[in-house]
């Protein structure tokens, strides 16, 4: 969750005169090969996305694989060596579980589940062999002290030890090759932008380089000062522009982390920059090298041995992304199957009552302001459809067909978006995606509400916290849009699977509130 509330940040920034404008991010990008140096408008080549390949997720998968593998190995060896001779009594289950848990605990303590350990096979092999041996010695000592050692087959114990060591080392050898191959493609690195180009930035970069293998790839420097006040090259890294350029850059190429090297005394500059960067789905940190404050070690997060102060956290990362993605696709598929009769009925009603296609396709803003194409049942006459939503639908809008009026009011026109959920463009729950030209009081949405694009730090959804609280349908006034955005930000800052489930279960009841739905 965010360490700072976006709305509070924007309020403070305005009060201090730091917030003058939040740039409208660029949403279209053609990734073409170029020999020129990286810049905000011409970023470095984009690595494969592969969100599931984060180091945290990979480490969890390796732990699970080794746990299951060692458990199954012990059981399989008993069946192969002792079947029909020694029954598989509970004591064997207990021994297998004890050895496995002790080994995994020792592996964790020795740092064998870090991304650097996955890559460095020789050093990790020694740690694995040591941990596996100590785990067996611990369990064997416990058997002797409990006077139950004679109840276990020594052939099975020796075979389990040797085979387990072979499985661990063989698996890690394959993992090492996989990790090296993926790192060559740019995965696992936290692509980091440095904000501020003074001596503090040089000190931070040198500290990061000295800390060894920290998984950081510095993409460049961004500084709001002109070239006459800050160098175009900082410790060997190019200056790519100012903070507004960083927002544009992050729309073109992935940025995982932003580190400020400005001192805390530069409060106005920091507030202005944070207000602009708050719309991005990135982690934002303040370098402790840039301040004379000395807090307790637990107050910091660390990159290698470099202390940082947390400012913003990415709303969804690592296992949260996996969990929400699985929830969306599984529940989305079940809903699609359950609602297919209703969808067929609506499709027939649309087709039989007005000429034209059943589905209406529209470009809308998605995650990180990417343009996505969403599906809806067509509710307007074909020659009057407004793909850009430049004109809001009103209560007596003549463009809407009779069937369209009903399905819009009941939100049945949104059901085809389940296909968007299954293919990954939308979530079941999230801020509703808005059309590109959508307006409130004849003004584009992003110009009405400060920090409007912060609602795009997660995937948009079919339903959301704003919708079940009565803020669905027409947004013809700035106040309605403001309340919708406030609810969207509340959802982002407080996300959980249980929160998603609550919103989904409440959505059918919210559909009865049709005052603003036309």
Question: How confident is the model over 196-252, as pLDDT tens digits?
Answer: 887 888 888 888 887 766 678 888 899 887 665 667 778 888 888 888 889 889 888
The CATH class, in words, for 6-47+189-312 is alpha beta
Q: Beta 216-222 vs 237-241: how paired, if at all?
A: parallel
Among 149-163, 306-320, 323-337, the minimum mean pLDDT is found in 306-320
Q: CA angle, corner 452, sides to 501 and 422, nearest 5?
A: 40
Structure tokens at 19: 């917030």
**CA dist., res. 311 & res. 401, Å (int):** 49
Which residue in this structure is represented by tokens 């009769």? 341
Choice between 200 and 73, residue whose per-residue pLDDT is larger:
73
**CA dist., res. 201 & res. 207, Å (int):** 10
Choice between 442 and 253, residue whose per-residue pLDDT is larger:
253
Half-sphere exposure of 229 (CA within 13 A, CB side): 8
- Say whether pLDDT at 309 is over 80: yes
Q: What residues pair up with 309 in beta bridges, in sequence order?
A: 286
Among 85-89, 94-98, 118-122, 131-135, the minimum mean pLDDT is found in 85-89
pLDDT of the residue at 37:
47
For residue range 35-54, list pLDDT tens digits in order: 444 555 555 444 444 445 78
Task: Find the length of the chain.
Answer: 518
Which residue in this structure is represented by tokens 């990180």? 368
pLDDT of the residue at 441:
64
**CA dist., res. 181 & res. 131, Å (int):** 27
Q: What residues pair up with 373 in beta bridges, in sequence order?
A: 363
Which residue in this structure is represented by tokens 């803020």? 471
pLDDT of the residue at 29:
29
- Say whether pLDDT at 150 is over 50: yes
Q: Give the phi and the psi of residue 239 in degrees, each rounded to 5.
A: -85, 120
How much is the CA Rg of the chain, to the nearest whole Å?
28
329-341 mean pLDDT: 94
Quick one: pLDDT band at residue 274, thresholds 50, 70, 90?
confident
Quick one: pLDDT band at residue 383, thresholds 50, 70, 90?
confident
pTM above 0.85, yes or no: no
CB-CB contact of 254 with 50 (8 Å): no
Long-range contacts of 237-244 (CB under 8 A, 24+ apart): 237/194, 237/205, 238/37, 238/38, 239/197, 240/38, 240/39, 240/40, 241/39, 241/40, 243/195, 243/272, 243/273, 243/276, 243/277, 244/23, 244/276
Quick one: pLDDT band at residue 387, thresholds 50, 70, 90?
low
**CA dist., res. 168 & res. 103, Å (int):** 11
pLDDT of the residue at 298:
62
**CA dist., res. 203 & res. 196, Å (int):** 12
306-330 mean pLDDT: 89
pLDDT of the residue at 60:
94
Return the percentage of the chain with pLDDT > 70, whole number: 81
Output the average pLDDT for the chain.
Answer: 82
- Say whether pLDDT at 20 is over 50: no
- Say whether pLDDT at 116 is over 90: no
Nearest Cα neighbor of 427 from 491, 378, 342 is: 491
354-377 mean pLDDT: 89
Structure tokens at 260: 């400020």
Q: What residues pair up with 220 in beta bridges, in sequence order?
A: 193
Residue 335's Cβ-count burial label (10 Å; 0-12, 13-18, 19+) is middle
CB-CB contact of 432 with 467 (8 Å): yes
CB-CB contact of 52 with 323 (8 Å): no
Choice between 94 and 290, residue whose per-residue pLDDT is larger:
94
CB-CB contact of 313 with 1 (8 Å): yes
Q: What residues pair up with 283 in beta bridges, in sequence order?
A: 257
Q: CA angle, corner 338, sides to 356 and 326, nearest 5?
A: 100
Which residue in this structure is represented by tokens 């302001």? 369
Structure tokens at 86: 């020694």
Q: Where are the chain's structural domains?
A: 6-47+189-312, 55-184, 319-510
CB-CB contact of 27 with 251 (8 Å): yes
150-178 mean pLDDT: 94
Q: How many CB atoms sit inside 10 A of residue 65's CB?
A: 12
Q: Beta 283-287 vs 301-303: how paired, if at all?
A: unpaired
CB-CB contact of 290 with 196 (8 Å): yes
All residues at 6 or more sequence positions from 145 whose CB lies less than 8 Å from its CB, including other chains: none
Q: Give the phi and the psi of residue 238 in degrees, each rounded to 5.
A: -75, 150
Structure tokens at 55: 């180091």
Choice between 272 and 459, residue whose per-residue pLDDT is larger:
459
Quick one: pLDDT band at residue 95, thresholds 50, 70, 90?
very high
Q: CA angle, corner 370, sides to 316 and 25, nearest 5?
A: 95
Q: CA angle, corner 409, sides to 407 and 410, nearest 5?
A: 65
All residues at 6 or more sequence positions from 190 whose CB lies less than 8 Å from its CB, including other chains: 215, 216, 217, 256, 257
376-393 mean pLDDT: 75
**CA dist., res. 109 & res. 407, Å (int):** 58
pLDDT of the residue at 356:
87
Return the percentage of the chain with pLDDT > 90, whole number: 35
């Amino acid at each position: 969750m965010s360490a700072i509330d976006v709305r509070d940040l924007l309020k403070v920034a305005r009060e201090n005169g730091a917030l003058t404008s939040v740039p409208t991010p660029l949403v279209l990008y053609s990734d073409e090969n170029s020999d020129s140096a990286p810049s905000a408008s011409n970023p470095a080549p984009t690595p494969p996305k592969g969100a599931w390949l984060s180091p945290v997720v990979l480490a969890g998968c390796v732990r699970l694989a080794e746990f299951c593998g060692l458990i199954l190995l012990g059981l399989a060896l008993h069946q192969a060596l002792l079947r029909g001779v020694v029954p598989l009594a509970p004591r064997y289950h207990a021994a297998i579980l004890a050895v496995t848990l002790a080994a995994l605990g020792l592996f964790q303590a020795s740092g064998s589940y870090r991304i650097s350990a996955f890559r460095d096979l020789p050093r990790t092999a020694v740690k694995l062999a040591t941990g596996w041996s100590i785990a067996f010695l611990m369990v064997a000592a416990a058997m002797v002290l409990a006077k139950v050692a004679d109840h276990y087959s020594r052939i099975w114990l020796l075979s389990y030890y040797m085979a387990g060591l072979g499985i661990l080392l063989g698996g890690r050898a394959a993992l090492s090759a996989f990790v090296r191959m993926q790192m060559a493609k740019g995965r696992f690195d936290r692509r980091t932008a440095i904000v501020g180009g003074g001596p503090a930035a040089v000190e931070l970069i040198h500290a990061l380089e000295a800390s060894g293998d920290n998984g950081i790839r510095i993409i460049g420097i961004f500084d709001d000062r002109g070239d006459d006040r800050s160098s175009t090259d900082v410790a060997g890294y190019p200056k790519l522009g100012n903070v507004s350029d960083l927002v544009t850059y992050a729309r073109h190429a992935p940025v995982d982390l932003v580190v400020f090297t400005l001192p805390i005394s530069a409060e106005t500059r920091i507030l202005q920059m944070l207000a602009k960067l708050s719309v991005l789905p990135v982690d934002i940190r303040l370098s402790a090298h840039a301040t004379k404050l000395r807090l307790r070690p637990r107050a910091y997060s660390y990159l290698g041995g470099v202390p940082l102060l947390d400012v913003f956290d990415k709303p969804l990362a690592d296992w949260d992304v996996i969990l929400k993605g699985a929830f969306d696709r599984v529940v989305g598929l079940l809903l699609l199957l359950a609602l297919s009769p209703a969808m067929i009925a609506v499709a027939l009603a649309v087709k039989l009552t007005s000429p034209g296609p059943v589905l209406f396709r529209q470009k809308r803003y998605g995650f990180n302001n990417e343009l996505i194409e969403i599906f809806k049942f067509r509710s307007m006459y074909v020659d009057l459809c407004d793909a850009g939503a430049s004109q809001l639908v009103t209560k007596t809008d003549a463009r809407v067909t009779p069937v369209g009026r009903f399905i819009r009011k009941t939100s049945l026109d949104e059901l085809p978006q389940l296909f968007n959920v299954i293919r990954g463009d939308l979530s079941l729950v999230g801020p509703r995606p808005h059309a590109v030209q959508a307006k409130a009081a004849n003004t584009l949405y992003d110009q009405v509400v400060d920090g409007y694009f912060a609602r795009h730090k997660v995937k948009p959804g079919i339903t959301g916290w704003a919708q079940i609280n009565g803020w669905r349908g027409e947004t013809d006034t700035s106040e309605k849009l403001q309340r919708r955005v406030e609810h969207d930000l509340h959802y982002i800052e407080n996300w959980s699977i249980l929160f998603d489930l609550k919103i989904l279960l409440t959505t059918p009841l919210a559909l009865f509130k049709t005052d603003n739905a036309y």
